[in-house]
Structure 1
Amino acid sequence: MDTDVIIGQGVVYFEQAWGFAKGWLLSPAAWTQFGLLVVAYVAALFVTRKILPTVQKFLTPAEDQDTYLAKARRFVLMFAPLVLPLLAYALTGIGESVTRSVFGSGEVIAFGKRVFMFLAARILVREIITDPLMKVLGRYLLVPIAGLYALGFLDEVMLKLDETVVPLGNLSFSLLFLIRFVLVGGAIFWLGRWSNEQSSSFIKNQSEMRPAMRELTAKTAEIAIFGVAFLLLMNIMGISLTSLAVLTGAIGVGLGFGLQKIASNFISGIILLLEGQATVGDYVELDGGEAGTIVKMTARAAILETYDGKWIVVPNEDFITTRVVNYSDSGSANRYEAPFSVSYGTDINLVPDIVEAAVAENPDVLKDPFPPDCELRGFGDSGVDFAVEFWVNGIDDGRHKYTSDVLFRIWNALKDNGIEIPYPHRVVELRDTRKNPDT
């Protein structure tokens, strides 16, 4: 009996479905919508193939161009894959308005229009978005939302999400609000990060500004951009800042007790940028033994790169509270010395002129503030000890081995003038300590 009921119910559903399909197949409105849908896609495909190559050629700058106009053209060019689905969507929308005005219905063509929008969202996520965070948001939020929109279930799902409320202390919000917040917030902060990269690149290219001032201006612009992005997000989502008083109070307590070092490093970084005593490009050495070239200064720390390629993260506070030796200081000269010896048979009065002339031939050795200066240092066990002092712009390490080249020049100059460089001598005295057998 139950089986007969099930079969009967199935026959009823089949007859209803067949009646609907038959009515659709014989409906002029349905076929008209389907035809307009095909015509809209073919027209969009034709226009895209005819116009898009010309537009792409116009928007493509030369490879060596790096101006802001060239960057803007490359940015617009990224969205070229969206032309076909969006154009088909627009043309289908026109067709939908025609069918609704003539036949009073447009479900078929409306479904096709929504499918074109889904394809556009899919292309955007797969081919255009490169940022990892935005790609994740697009894959797991934007594409599913576009799929629900194409199937016509978006309104029901949004209503259900809006009814699902999540309490959070004195605050409460719906799942729909949370999804909107994540999508809008991700888009706004991605735009903020892109704007920050462009502004930072522009500021750092201003060579007439001091390096420290460039860093300070870039950090100020970064704080301003993300501050505006945060306020814009709050305004778009309709969140009153006063409603976050409890949350911000808790964050303030956490900053006061748990994040003292971060706050201290942040203030120290601002002081460093204002004073300009250590900035990007300087070679510094700290009391703790850390030494390297500053390659980046963040809100929390400075990044030092050693000559063996390692990166050292030094908190900004260490630059304020400890002794720091800055060997660069915006390109100031540094003095080094190269010790050597000559044999005792040498006329030592000739040595200074020979060595100073040889060292001065090095193109990196400066004449100002002082030219090379060869000094007598003492009389050693094996020879007469000298040292030549010389000044250079830079650090005697890494790519610039100044002392090595200077010693090569000293060796060659002394050899050319017949002056011997001694090797260690030791005199060994043998004594016969045996007693005389006759006494």
Structure 2
Amino acid sequence: MNFDLASQPQFVQTAAGYALQGWDVAKGWLLSPAAWSQFGLLVAAFLAAWLLTRRLGPWLTRVLTPPEDARSLLATLRRFVLVFVALLLPLLAFGFTAIGEQATRAMFGSGAVIAFGKRVFLFLAARILVREIITDGFLKLLGRFILIPVMALYALGLLDVATARLNEMTVALGNIEFTLMAVIRGLIAGSILFWLGRWSNDQTGGYIQRQQEMPPATRQLATKAAELTIYGIAFILLMNIVGIPLTSLAVIGGAVGVGIGFGLQQIASNYISGVILLLEGQATVGDYVELDNGLAGTIVQTTARAMILETFDGRWIVVPNEDFITTRVINYSDQGSSNRYEVPFRVSYDTDINQIPKIIEAAVATHPDVLSDPFPPDCELRAFGDSGVEFAVEFWVNGLDDGRNRYTSDVGFLIWNALKDNGIQIPYPQRVVHMKQAEA
């Protein structure tokens, strides 16, 4: 087959050259007895793997499937291995083909066809891995657009050619030049490393948060320290893989230091303030706090830069960590601490006020959330007002009087009912007007 391709573009000539080489290889295989023997071995290996998979697959599935409620380390390991049963057919075919390749090379001195079959079985294994086993979206994306194309090139015997071409092509970044292969390798390695970093960070953070004997602030600090360590190691490994010397990071570190000194002061201040808050434990997740500027809410999340407060009306407020250090903060500490509230009321001047404290204190003490420790309900005389005698009852509760808790409202109802039951009148506002008649 002779074609005059001199007038065609270079890539057409190159593609035609590869096509002619493939045709020559295929023609050689079709006309070679050794090749037909290898084709026969490939078919036999596949059939043997298929028959063995039909026997082993259900048995392995039964053995590896743990009880549904099992949560031990062994059960987790069994579930992990179970998902790879889908690879049994291509891997067994690959193993049988490898045995056949040794026999073929010993008999005919050639094993190109059966070696091609081995690579095809590996390609099929990679395809099953991406389509049926990997569930993470990011890893599935890497498998679909990187692993499968690479395995396809390997199966066709073009991986070395493609690698050599990528090593010849360079990408310039200022005064630094990288080969295209180095860039691709860095992107792939970086993606995998930082996915592993995210996964290990989630696992480490979950393990630390389950250690209930540690104070919440210590758990938060340990989680952030583990996160920085994991991503720092991933970054250093990536620099080594790409080939960037770590000594060059000193220059980058100096530039970052200058940036922090001039443009990133606020970010650095918030980050350091966050570390101080975690170390001192003055405000942690679950605490109800009120800042000097009037912002108030429950801390639902802490980050390196800020704390997130949730108000009782469902709004989230992002408060920089520095505000917790440089301003006054009232921490009501909703996690089991006691808070005191009071409800004012007044009675008529016709009332025997000596009976009021006993009646009101007994009524308020019946509320299930009112505490007797540190102090029981305390009814105090506050003033002799214009319209009546003014009292207030103080009481202690665990929690905050807002949201789902309505302590002052409940106590107000108790006061009303107690006064009504004892015939005590709550006066209306009154004014006494004296009219003086003018003399004739």
Task: Tell me the TM-score normalized by structure 2.
Answer: 0.83
Quote the offset at 1:428 in angstroms. 9.4
State the one-letter code of the partner of 2:304.
Answer: A
- How many angstroms apart in 1 are the aligned matches of 2:70 and 2:388? 62
Residues 1:311 and 2:316 aligned together:
yes
Which runs of 5 or more structure 1 residues have no equivalent in the other structure? 6-13
Residues 1:403 and 2:391 aligned together:
no
- How many angstroms apart in 1 are the aligned matches of 2:206 and 2:410? 38
- How many angstroms apart in 2 are the aligned matches of 1:164 and 1:329? 63
State the one-letter code of the partner of 2:261.
Answer: G
Instruction: Tell me the equivalent position of 1:227.
Output: 232
8 Å CA contact 1:203–1:214 kept in 2: the answer is yes
Quote the offset at 1:273 in angstroms. 0.8
Instruction: Tell me the equivalent position of 2:8.
Output: none
Instruction: Tell me the equivalent position of 2:371.
Output: 366
CA distance 1:23–1:213, change in 2 (3 Å): closer
Quote the offset at 1:278 in angstroms. 0.8
Residues 1:101 and 2:112 aligned together:
no
State the one-letter code of the partner of 1:365.
Answer: V
Instruction: Tell me the equivalent position of 2:280.
Output: 275
Instruction: Tell me the equivalent position of 1:44.
Output: 49
CA distance 1:329–1:168, change in 2 (3 Å): same
Which runs of 5 or more structure 2 residues have no equivalent in the other structure? 6-18
Residues 1:378 and 2:375 aligned together:
no
8 Å CA contact 1:366–1:391 kept in 2: the answer is yes
CA distance 1:73–1:98, change in 2 (3 Å): same
8 Å CA contact 2:288–2:297 kept in 1: the answer is yes
- How many angstroms apart in 2 are the aligned matches of 1:16 and 1:282? 73
8 Å CA contact 1:117–1:146 kept in 2: the answer is yes
Task: Tell me which moved more, 299-308 or 65-74.
Answer: 65-74
CA distance 1:254–1:404, change in 2 (3 Å): same
Quote the offset at 1:276 in angstroms. 0.8
Task: Tell me which moved more, 132-141 or 162-171.
Answer: 132-141
Task: Report the secondary structure of 1:336's partner residue.
Answer: strand
CA distance 1:223–1:307, change in 2 (3 Å): same
Instruction: Tell me the equivalent position of 2:293.
Output: 288
State the one-letter code of the partner of 1:355.
Answer: I
Task: Tell me which moved more, 133-142 or 278-287.
Answer: 133-142
8 Å CA contact 1:277–1:329 kept in 2: the answer is no
Task: Report the secondary structure of 1:409's partner residue.
Answer: helix
State the one-letter code of the partner of 1:362.
Answer: H
Instruction: Tell me the equivalent position of 1:114.
Output: 119
8 Å CA contact 1:134–1:186 kept in 2: the answer is no
Quote the offset at 1:176 in angstroms. 0.9
CA distance 1:214–1:347, change in 2 (3 Å): same
CA distance 1:380–1:165, change in 2 (3 Å): same
CA distance 1:32–1:397, change in 2 (3 Å): farther
State the one-letter code of the partner of 1:190.
Answer: W
- How many angstroms apart in 2 are the aligned matches of 1:67 and 1:360? 49
Task: Report the secondary structure of 2:354's partner residue.
Answer: coil
Instruction: Tell me the equivalent position of 2:12.
Output: none
Out of 253, 256, 259, the position equivalent to 2:261 is: 256
CA distance 1:4–1:325, change in 2 (3 Å): closer
8 Å CA contact 2:288–2:331 kept in 1: the answer is yes
Task: Report the secondary structure of 2:324's partner residue.
Answer: helix
